[in-house]
Structure 1
Amino acid sequence: MSDSVLEAPDPFASTQPWAMQLAIRDERASRPTHLAVCEAAAQAVVKLLTDPRSAPDGEWYPLVHHWASGPIRKVVRRGRGIRFTQVQELAGVEVEHAGAQVRAFVPGPVDQVPAALTKMQVGGTEMPEEGKSSEPVAGGLTIALTALTPMTTGKAAAQSGHAAQLALMSMEDEARLRWEESGWAVRVVAPEEAGWAEAVQRARVAVHDGGFTEVAPGTQTAVAWW
């Protein structure tokens, strides 16, 4: 008698919410800064969404399209050493930027997260230093994080990813082409209250949080312009 083979669960049969998982590399000796993580996370999200494998004829398309058609939930995790090395084998894209290393994974239901990812912590994602924003790049995107509500680095990174995704979906073709030509450059700023009010006024897209973690539902967490 041949051994039975366990089939992988069908993600589309799940009744649980879907999310894009993101992983931050967080080594003790060289922790990235808060803003570098946010910028890298936003870039990773965009690079996954614009990857040829996410296009209508690509292998990732059914999963990416299903997730993007609903709430664009993201879960940010952190890991070091072997924990981060193990997730390299999972489908996704990775960005290294200003000392930060963030990998975005193909979305799926939250009850079918790969084992290598479940071993990475969701908590403790607060980086000890805020760091500096990247310099503006022609054709790039600027994201401002709210000054009114405190957010951990993981939460802020997720909101930065949301803002970048909304910008990608909202841009006209010419603006999107210029952004692509910039290498999907992202600048994340953390203004004081007065600067936040100005950012809201000039924003082209805004993120209002679903309230799953840290902040109240409907909180405006990030805005972006180009």
Structure 2
Amino acid sequence: MLTLVVRVEKGARPGQTDALETAARAVLAILADERSAGEGEWAEAMRAWQDARIRKVVRRARGAEWRRAEALPGITVTGSDAEVRVFPPVPLDAVPKDLAKLQVTGTDFEDPDDLAAPEPGIPVLWINPGLTMSSGKAMAQCGHAAHLAWLALSAAGRKEWVAADFALAVRTATPGRWRDLLTSGLPVVQDAGFTEVAPGSRTVIAIIPC
């Protein structure tokens, strides 16, 4: 299980899309980190996790909870107003207590303004318009999509994405675009259905520019 924690202070909630994009970038950050490769301190855990289901959970923290989470080994990624910390994966029964006791609920965010079109040339994670998901669930699904996109890239493509600080965009597809994406052969997240959506639901599709 890979845990992501989003910082949600009183009166300072992140925007929806910024939270989704920051969660996706956090997953990429731990995948690319030198501690996750070779003989790095997280490498064995990362290999075991990726050889099984790449399960991810998003929790929220504020104040002292956030400070305790920051003290644990991990990586904090910031967006425009979102902060997400990602932690090396562990078995479900081995999640540190300072993370396990954090709430999963309460992560329903909103975008303050209308979203501009994604910048040309960056990866876009398109969300299924026919599903209703909490912000936390959508963050995990965008993390899955970014993960699949990373696996689909060449070594050179990964280096370019690292150099670009994992630039990406998250948008909700129109129904017509979603139908086209489903037949495109692009990486698509198919959810196991443990929470919120039915088993087999296709949640997010990643477009990676060549």
- Fold-level match, TM-score > 0.5? yes
- Matches of 1:103 and 1:145, distance apart in 2: 22
Equivalenced residue count is 207
Identity value in percent: 36
3-state SS of paired residue (1:87): helix
**Contact 2:3–2:88 (CA under 8 A) maintained in structure 1:** yes
**Two-structure CA RMSD over aligned residues (Å):** 1.7
Gaps of 5+ in 2: none
Residue 88 of structure 1: CA displacement? 0.5
3-state SS of paired residue (1:128): coil
Assess, with a 3 A threshold, how the Cα gap between structure 1 residues 213 and 97 changes in structure 2: closer, same or farther.
same
**Contact 2:22–2:82 (CA under 8 A) maintained in structure 1:** yes
1:206 maps to 2:188: yes
Equivalent AA in structure 2 for residue 136 of structure 1 = E
1:99 maps to 2:81: yes
Larger Rg: 1
Gaps of 5+ in 1: 1-18
What do residues 21-77 of structure 1 show as CA deviations (whole Å, max 9, x unaligned)?
000101121211111111000000010011000011201111111001110000110
Assess, with a 3 A threshold, how the Cα gap between structure 1 residues 214 and 166 changes in structure 2: closer, same or farther.
same
- Matches of 1:133 and 1:215, distance apart in 2: 28
Assess, with a 3 A threshold, how the Cα gap between structure 1 residues 28 and 133 changes in structure 2: closer, same or farther.
farther
| TM-score of the pair, normalised by structure 2 | 0.92
What do residues 121-148 of structure 1 show as CA deviations (whole Å, max 9, x unaligned)?
011211133753684264x321001101
What do residues 90-123 of structure 1 show as CA deviations (whole Å, max 9, x unaligned)?
1111110021111111000111111111231011
Out of 88, 100, 117, the residue aligned to residue 118 of structure 1 is: 100
3-state SS of paired residue (1:215): coil
**Contact 2:20–2:139 (CA under 8 A) maintained in structure 1:** yes
Out of 197, 203, 210, the residue aligned to residue 221 of structure 1 is: 203
1:9-158 equivalent positions in 2, closer than 5 A:
19-129=1-111, 132=115, 135-136=118-119, 138=121, 140-158=122-140
- Matches of 1:67 and 1:133, distance apart in 2: 36
| TM-score of the pair, normalised by structure 1 | 0.86
